[in-house]
Copies of this chain bind each other. A is one copy, B any other.
């Protein structure tokens, strides 16, 4: 089943893993090559690749290819989108229904 929420969850799924938050923390220092991330994280090469894919697919991180190296950095645009999405999902609607149900 395809639903709108599927797109929404993708962003948060990217952020709900410890390894990926560690990666994000490293990327806050600026753009980094996969090989640098690899030596700064206690993780294998294929594992890193897996996580980077999730981060890039979510839009929060963007990648740049240079020869055989891949460089990653936090995407300003993607992060902003994530922020807006979070806000949208947690902001009450303008017309609030009264909770008349189940009163004593």
Q: A interface vs B, CB < 8 Å?
A: 3, 5-6, 8-9, 12-13, 15-18, 21-22, 24-25, 28-33, 35-36, 60, 66-67, 69, 71, 74, 79, 82-83, 86-87, 89-93, 95-99, 101-104
Give Cα distance in the complex from A6 to B22, angstroms: 11
- B66 contacts A104, CB within 8 Å? yes
Q: How far is the CA of A99 from the CA of B30 in the complex (A)?
A: 7
User: Are A18 and B29 touching (Cβ within 8 A)?
Assistant: no
Nearest B residue to A22 via CB reads B5
Question: In the bound complex, how far is the Cα of B89 from the Cα of A101, in angstroms?
Answer: 39
How many copies of the chain does the oligomer comprise?
2
Residue contact B74 to A82, C-beta cutoff 8 Å: no
Query: Residues of B contacting A12 with CB < 8 Å?
Result: 12-13, 15-16
Cross-chain contact B101 with A36 (CB below 8 angstroms)? yes
Contacts of A103 in B (CB 8 A): 66
